[in-house]
Amino acid sequence: MKKTTAETPETYSLIYKSAAKAVGYVDPNEPYPSSVFVPNVIPVIVYEKPQVINMTKASKELYADLNLFEILSVEELEGTFGEMKWAIWKRNMDDLMGDVDNQEDNVCFEERVIVKRLKRTADQRHFKKFLEEALAFFNAERHKNLAQVAAIASYKHFSDAEQRVEFPLICYLHDGFGNLKKFLISCRNGQKNAQFKNPNGNGIQTLRAHELVSMALQILKAVIHLHHFGIIHKDIATRNCLVSKVRDHDNLFVQICDSALSKDFFPDDYHCLGDNENRPMKWMAHESLVHNSFNSSTDVWSFGVVLWELLTCGQQPYPDIDPDEMAIVLERGKRLSQPYSCPDELYGLMYCCWQLDYRDRPTTQQLLIALQEFNLQLLQYI
C-alpha cells in the first residue's frame, strides 16, 4: 500500500479534471472530445425528511418469539454495551405465508441471521437509542442492498419494559461473512477465513479491483434508495455494511445497514466534538463537522471515504490527524492520498466526492453512472 498521508488538491489536479468530466462537470470554456462520457443528469440535493417511526406498528410487524432462535457461540463483534452474534431462526412456513388455519401441516425451515443485542450492563437509555438507530430504515421499502431489521425477537413484547426478561435481539437476514470492515481487514492481513471460494471451483481467490468496485456500486445503490425516501444515512462506512457470498452476478453481495451499536463496536472510528455525541469525524463532510449539516451531498462525501476504505482493505482514514483538527485540515485542502494500485480514474472519483463546496460534488446518480462505466472497462480485461 502507498503511504496514506493526506495530499493537497494541486497534486491531483489533472486526475480531478479528468474525473470531473466523467461525472458531468465540464468547463464550458474548454473544448473536450466528443468521446468524453458526460451523463445527462441535473444535480439535485436531497434533504432529510423527518422520519417518525411508529414503534407500536414496528413492534407488531417485526415481533418474533425468541424461543425460535438458536444463538450460536461464534462472536462477530463485541463492545462494552452490546454484541453481534450469529443465530439460526427456526421459522414457520405457514405463519410466513399468513396461513394460521392449518397448524398441523406447518412446515418449519431454518434461516441464518446475524443479530445485535445489548448486554445486561446496558440501561433503558441505551435501549431507547439502540432501537431508534436500528429502525432508522423502517419507513423505507425493501431493497436487496439494504439490510433492514427482519425481526425483533423477545420472550415478551419488546416495548414492555416491566415484563422484559432481557433485551431483545435485533435480527438481520444474513448468510455470509458478516461485517464488511472486519472482512476487509482480514483480507489485508491474509487470513484464510477472509477469502472466499472461487465460483468456478478453482480454490481460493482474493479481492480484485472489479470486485471492490462492484461492492461500492451495491452500497451506492442502497444509498440512492434511502435518499428516494428522504433518508440521509449520515454514517456510510464499511463498518456499517454486511458482506455475503456470491449472489446473482456479483462475486460478493453487500448490504448497507443501520449504525446501531457501531459506536460501541468501533470506538476508534468515533470521536466527540464536545457535545457528548460521538461522531464518525473522519468520514464526515466539512459542513457536517462545522455546522452539523447533512444532506445527500454529505453522504456522497462519506461514500468517497468508503471507496478509499475498499481500495485499502479497511485502513483507517487520516490515522495521523487529531479528530479535533479535521475541519481545519479539510479547509486547508488536505485529502486522503491515492491507495496503492488504485487506478487514477477511480481515485479521481473519490476526490470529486471531497470538494469543500457541497454543490461541486457529484450526485449519487452521477457517481453511479461513472462507476458503472468504470467497472465495465475493468471487466473487459478479465
Question: What are the residue numbers of the active site?
Answer: 235
Contact by Cβ (8 Å): 138, 128: no
By C-alpha distance, which of 232, 225, 221 is closest to 287? 232
Residues found in the chain: 382
| Grid cell for residue 309 | 476504505
Determine how β-strand 151-154 pairs with β-strand 63-65. parallel
Distance CA 260, CA 116 (A): 8
The secondary structure of the chain, three-state, reads CCCCCCECHHHHHHHHHHHHHHCCCCCCCCCCCCCCCCCCCCCCCCECCCCCCCHHHHHHHHEEEHHHEEEEEEEEEECCCEEEEEEEEEEEHHHHHCCCCCHHHCCEEEEEEEEEEECCCCCHHHHHHHHHHHCCCCCCCCCCCEECCCEEEECCCCCCCCCCCCCCEEEEECCEEEEHHHHHHHHHCCCHHHCEECCCCCCEECCCHHHHHHHHHHHHHHHHHHHHCCCCCCCCCHHHEEEECCECCECCEEEEECCCCHHHHCHHHCEECCCCCEECHHHCCHHHHHHCCCEHHHHHHHHHHHHHHHHCCCCCCCCCCCHHHHHHHHHCCCECCCCCCCCHHHHHHHHHHCCCCHHHCCCHHHHHHHHHHHHHHHHCCC
Task: For residue 284, give the nearest of 235, 343, 243, 228 by alpha carbon.
Answer: 235
